[in-house]
Amino acid sequence: MRNAVVLLGRFPALAGLDLELAPGTVTLVQGPNGAGKTTLLRLLAGLAPLESGSATVLGHDVTIEKRRVRASVGLLSPATMLYDDLTIKENLDFWATLSGHSDADTLAALKRVRMVEFAQQRVVTLSTGQRRRAAIAVVALRRPRLWLLDEPHAGLDQSGRDIVDGLIEDAIAAGATVVVASHELARVRPLATHIATVAGGIVHQFETLVPNA
Amino acid sequence: MREIWAVARKDLRIEARSKVVATQVLPFALIILVLFGLALDADRSTLRAFTPGLFWVATLFAAILAIQRSVSVETSSSAFEALRLSGTPGWKLFGGKALAVALQLVAIEAVLAIGVVVLYRSSFADPVLVVTAALAATVAIAAAGSLYGVLAVGMGVRDTILPMLLLPILAPVLVAATRAFDDGLGTAAVNGWSWCGLLGLFALIYVVIGSAAYAVVIEDA
């Protein structure tokens, strides 16, 4: 993206941000609250409207080809985007139908986040961590080419955190690209190939990490 | 069609679990019928004459609540964002949301029909006309309501603004449905089928506009 500006009301959440991510990389986006990390992820997902500048995701312009961008990305946001009155299985089946995936994909996603035994439980009855796992399963189900993870470890126990790390590793092995916005630097840094430091709506520093350094 | 049915089934399943329409909207519609009867202080023959209008006013008020519920299902879980992310075409999302509202309205109308028979002693002179007109009006209300419900969310004042937005748009449907019912219930000598045709036209227009505009309005929801 080049000189990307995104406004939240009149406030420039992104104020001329430049960023280029190579396929198959894991980029840790770090920065203080209000720096623009979440807005950056939303822009990459084709959800935040670009006021000026340009942004291309997986070869598609985020303004002109929103639907293509959205169909190729998976966004884990602070809101779980799950329907409380449906079971986890019903939620996953619904999103699987809309994104053209099968029952087998749903089951695989549930297994991946170790939630098979809770599949028939309504979301409203789940703990915060279990809801978070279910939300992660929805992202995993889509098998996106670009994973956008906003504080993916938040609210998870050790087992859940390990699942997130494993999913990031699996995604990279499958050739996907991962962007993780997180305050848990010690947790994400070992997985990251790059670190983008964001403040005031722009990228202040972009580092390439040496593997296993 | 798979996606349309998936969206509709999801909304109907949520309603089956939460029972908001069954335990709140439906009783509200019946209370309107009772209150009109009390407020008009009329004998049965007068109530019978007013039945078509009272039926559709009660249906419209109930529809507004059902539409608000349909929207709140998505806003309470930030699911509009997830629906956009799904990459599903807007017209399919619209079709599913409108179908679910329409099926709930059919159930409400069926109970209201029993209500007017029991409370007002109304009878059906032309049941085929009544059912056809009801279906056409239901499609029009569900289509316009599903579109304006999302539009109201985008304006950020959904709970209060929806009736203001929706009722003027649905006024022609109210008039046409009432006239068609006048014939169908035998309360006035009008050509109900021509009004029914007009209802069909309204339904078609609202479905076409909703299908075309939903992808745009959902961007701000």
Q: What is the mean pLDDT of residues A48-69?
A: 91
Round the average pLDDT of chain A to a whole number and report it.
Answer: 91
Distance of CA B183 to the CA centre of its chain: 21
Tokens standing for A147?
A: 């994973």
Q: What is the pLDDT of residue B161?
A: 85
Given a cut of 80, whether residue B9 has pLDDT beyond it is yes
Q: Which of A8, A64, A85, A124 should one mutate to test binding to chain B, selecting the residue with the greatest count of B CBs within 10 A?
A: A85
Amino acid at the residue A129: G
Residue B158 pLDDT class (50, 70, 90 cuts): low
Q: Per mean pLDDT, which range of A9-18, B28-37, B156-165, B205-214 is the poorest?
A: B156-165
Using an 8 Å CB-CB cutoff, list residues of chain A that contact chain B: 45-47, 49, 67-68, 70-71, 73, 75, 77, 79-86, 90, 94-95, 97-99, 122, 138
Report the complex ipTM.
0.86
Q: Under 8 Å CB-to-CB from A84, ≥6 apart: which residues?
A: A122, A123, A124, B76, B77
Pick from B101, B155, B80, B86: nearest CA to A75: B86
CB B195 within 8 A of CB B180: yes
Identify the closest residue of chain B to A86 by CA–CA distance: B14
Within 8 A of A125 by CB-CB distance, chain B residues are none
Out of B10, B76, B85, the one facing A45 most closely (by C-beta) is: B85
